[in-house]
Amino acid sequence: MSPTLKELALRYLREKLESGLLKPGTRLSDLALSKEIGISRTPIREAINQLISEGLVELNPHEGAFVKKPSMNEIKELYEIREVLEGYAASKIAAAGPSDSELAPLAECHRQIKALLEKLRGEGRSSLDEAEIRHALELDFAFHMAVIHLANNSRLEKLVRDFRVLGMLFRAYVPNMTISRLANACAYHERILVALCKRNPECAREELSSHIRKSLEECLESLTKNEAEPLRMEKVPEALRRFVKGKP
């Protein structure tokens, strides 16, 4: 069954939220989005209302809809929930004994992050540029969602995806990523993979939980120190526009 216009609009907005192209505080204009995507305003409004109900967008009276600005306390709560849910998923997967083919998507994400890290080290860099940050975050997102997908629980997958999107909205305030932070994430991913391969539920749970706790610590530290400006908006790739419109 073909997706409805609302579903296409929702997918489009989620892509922009997940990639960091829509930063916290950005106003969502149904008129502008209608022209941008090439569909009527009604499904755009329906998609925005859906995001409001999910807590990703806020409606300000007489001003319109805006991408949510999570508070420090909300971020802590989100990471605490992620720690429990993703830790549970890792434990469940390890206990089930995943095959090499099932772990292949995780291994590929890890390989790409490791390759990026080695490239940056080879160039003598200490930090990533904006495009590299976005790429690294996308790979990290894909790694974690691949873990959740293996747990074979659609409700859990949706919950974690929404929590991660909110977390990424927070990270838009502090987009600086150092080589050290990327190396930490890479090391955690490798240990998570090893624990899953060895079918060690407790180790898998602890490694993933520890990874999330470390990520929260880094995010809060960056916000406190005000290390960077928010990510800048960029034009949406033409390929994505064609995809949303259902064109090849």
- The 10s digit of each residue's pLDDT in 79-114 is 898 899 999 999 999 999 999 999 999 999 999 999
Q: How far apart are CA 244 and CA 248, in angstroms?
A: 10
**Residue 98, token pair as written in the block:** 């995943």
- Report the CATH architecture of 72-225: Up-down Bundle (1.20)
Global model pTM greater than 0.85: no
Q: How many helical (H) and strand (E) elements, i.e. helices and strands, does the chain have?
A: 10, 3
Burial of 85 (0-12, 13-18, 19+ CB in 10 A): buried
Please give the CATH topology (third level) of the domain spanning 5-69: Arc Repressor Mutant, subunit A (1.10.10)
Is the pLDDT score of 16 beyond 50?
yes
Query: pLDDT at position 167, please?
Result: 64
Q: How far apart are CA 173 and CA 35, in angstroms?
A: 28
Query: pLDDT at position 56, please?
Result: 85
Q: Per-residue pLDDT tens for 144-161?
A: 999 999 999 998 888 887
Domain with CATH 1.20.120.530 in the chain: 72-225
Greatest alpha-carbon span in the chain: 56
Query: pLDDT at position 49, please?
Result: 95
Q: Which of 54, 90, 49 is nearest to 166 (CA)?
A: 54
CB atoms within 10 A of CB 155: 7
Q: Per-residue pLDDT tens for 151-198?
A: 999 988 888 877 776 666 655 555 567 899 999 999 999 999 999 999
Q: How far apart are CA 189 and CA 129, in angstroms?
A: 22
Domain with CATH 1.10.10.10 in the chain: 5-69
